[in-house]
Structure 1
């Protein structure tokens, strides 16, 4: 083992003793590296992992004493994937998870769903709504298997907004009845109106461990009472939420579909727009100019009501409108230089969540292979940095293969830069999955 590698190993071991435990360092040999950024692979490379971080990436032979050697066989070694829009606690129809199923059952579903997501190669996710902080803590402490989680906690919605989850218009809101909604009691979301209420809700969300705040700023498909064209919250209310986030060194992400809703969000200082299927060139140009992120869902918004099993529900006509209009936004966003995140929003039963990798195929209509892979790795990691000091994973970089980065690694059969379809079937094509220096799958 060279002096350089001895020094590197000791330095990384000292900083990752708990993660390293009794395990040996790992040396990947004979791999072609996609580093999450560059279009050209680093060919015939070696990647040295000590503890939970990458200690060395080199095209020169590395002699690492006492290391476990993994011969990559010329496969592509790339960063673990990042999904910017998930709801880990919703593993059934939303009304069942929130209102009907026993809480221990919902938790058990979430544990199974988190492990399945990790085994699809997703080593980090941004959860944008739901009581997920406990699951995040259990994953971080090693009780259960799953991706790193940046939780938004309970989402914030106005009365009659996308996050007002009561399913009957005959049911008066808790404001008038004094009876708390189960969605609030269990931390799914807060219905808050007026500046004092939204300030209180934002502070409560941050108090419970959110790394960023999620607000509902416009109509949505799955909600019962708000048409898609509606703008939700006033500028003053949205600004109040942004100020609370900024006081904690983090940011706000907003569910918004229309120009009016998104323009209002930008005016208020919101940094991440979720969905945006009806945006026009004017708004997208402003987003590009002001570095506002767009997290669209190419696969989900192409799914028909029949595929989603929502025919005959209030969501059916909404989804058909999204099917018609969202294609334009996807085509324009990349051309105009908007920062585009990679997110899926495929919450629900396991069979629906398993469609997550199909986002790679759906984006191939709009972006090059390297653009898609960057979105799902280094660019999403850039988005997550907006959480600032609230970001729980800052000892190493995410979404890249470089010295000092977290050892979140996938070994892929073939080269996804040439064939993005390789990413659609992780069960077959992802031969090894490592998160935080721990191997969770190895079929080499």
Structure 2
């Protein structure tokens, strides 16, 4: 029996690598008769053809391009072809619902709504977005794996804030904060409260562990938080430095919400 089992495992190790090494078919798309805006020139190109293979622009030519078998051909009809737009300030989980709805509604429903909005965002021409706060890791994964359509997402994870700072959506009934417990907004990954340099480091590292490409914290007040005056500054210098240090150790950066000159200069 032992020899049979070992032989079976040996067969698996022989067969599986051969299967894994087979490259996935590369999708080719040919745009015909388009005028190109490249983001640099102030003028559109003349009528052109563009061949894309996978995620690489293979060829741009004013001459006809003969498509290979299986190539998807799109007749542009003289319309404009341009690079995908990038939205550097996007909140996947906060575009349609209010902050209150994003916290109190069913998490599954909120993710379905966010997925639908992600598809609409892609159809508006945005192929890349930087999500600056919210529980977006699941949506990013679904888009990356082709489960839903949407733009490429660079996630920040939960907004990191201080008690009563912008992004602290708790109600007065949730005070005082009980050490070792999390509020609803923290449990779902919307915002995390950090009131010391050590807490800031912890929350930053948690977001990076989950896949954050950058960190978002709030250096000043905002209009959507119930107890955060717009003209205040939040986080001490030591807390801000702790966030930056932790992000730099990970090879990335911190982006900050800030309205007033003092908040901007502090960040």
Under a length normalisation based on structure 1, what TM-score does the superposition of the two structures give? 0.53
Does the CA contact (< 8 Å) of 2:207 and 2:215 recur in 1? yes
Deviations 1:88-132 (A, max 9, x none): 12231211111x211211122112121122122221111111110
Q: How does 1:125-164 map to 2 (within 5 A)?
A: 125-164=129-168
Identify the residue that residue 97 of structure 2 maps to in structure 1: 92
Deviations 1:27-75 (A, max 9, x none): 2121110012222222111111112221112223323332333221111
Identify the residue that residue 235 of structure 2 maps to in structure 1: 233
**SS of 1:183's equivalent?**
helix
Identify the residue that residue 61 of structure 2 maps to in structure 1: 58
Stretches of structure 2 that go unaligned for 5 or more consecutive residues are 1-22
Considering only aligned residues, what root-mean-square deviation do their CA atoms show, in Å?
A: 1.6
User: Which residue of the other structure, out of 102, 105, 130, is the alignment partner of 2:106?
Assistant: 102
**Alpha-carbon distance in 2 for matches of 1:103, 1:50:** 37
**Alpha-carbon distance in 1 for matches of 2:149, 2:73:** 24
Q: In the superposition, relative to structure 1, how do residues 18 and 89 fare at CA in structure 2: closer, same or farther (>3 Å)?
A: farther
Under a length normalisation based on structure 2, what TM-score does the superposition of the two structures give? 0.86
Stretches of structure 1 that go unaligned for 5 or more consecutive residues are 1-16, 266-444
Deviations 1:1-45 (A, max 9, x none): xxxxxxxxxxxxxxxx5362xx4x222121110012222222111
Does the CA contact (< 8 Å) of 1:19 and 1:52 recur in 2? no
Q: In the superposition, relative to structure 1, how do residues 68 and 164 fare at CA in structure 2: closer, same or farther (>3 Å)?
A: closer
From the two aligned structures, give the one with the greater helix fraction. 1
Deviating 4+ runs (over 6 angstroms):
none
What displacement does 1:160 show? 1.2
**Alpha-carbon distance in 2 for matches of 1:63, 1:259:** 57
Does the CA contact (< 8 Å) of 1:32 and 1:42 recur in 2? yes
**Alpha-carbon distance in 2 for matches of 1:65, 1:121:** 27
**SS of 2:157's equivalent?**
coil
**Alpha-carbon distance in 1 for matches of 2:177, 2:91:** 24
1:250 has 2:255 as partner: no
1:205 has 2:220 as partner: no
Identify the residue that residue 286 of structure 1 maps to in structure 2: none
**Alpha-carbon distance in 2 for matches of 1:102, 1:227:** 29
Q: How does 1:229-308 map to 2 (within 5 A)?
A: 229-265=231-267
Identify the residue that residue 175 of structure 2 maps to in structure 1: 172
**Alpha-carbon distance in 2 for matches of 1:154, 1:173:** 21
What displacement does 1:175 show? 4.1
**SS of 1:27's equivalent?**
strand
**SS of 1:204's equivalent?**
helix
**SS of 1:60's equivalent?**
coil
1:69 has 2:48 as partner: no
Deviations 1:304-347 (A, max 9, x none): xxxxxxxxxxxxxxxxxxxxxxxxxxxxxxxxxxxxxxxxxxxx
What displacement does 1:173 show? 4.0
Identify the residue that residue 49 of structure 1 maps to in structure 2: 52
Identify the residue that residue 224 of structure 1 maps to in structure 2: 226
1:18 has 2:24 as partner: yes
The count of aligned residue pairs is 243
Deviations 1:194-247 (A, max 9, x none): 111101111111111100000011000001112111011111111110111111
Larger Rg: 2
Q: In the superposition, relative to structure 1, how do residues 19 and 40 fare at CA in structure 2: closer, same or farther (>3 Å)?
A: farther
Q: In the superposition, relative to structure 1, how do residues 59 and 188 fare at CA in structure 2: closer, same or farther (>3 Å)?
A: same
User: Which residue of the other structure, out of 42, 47, 53, is the alignment partner of 1:39?
Assistant: 42
Deviations 1:141-181 (A, max 9, x none): 011111111000011001110021113x34314246x5420
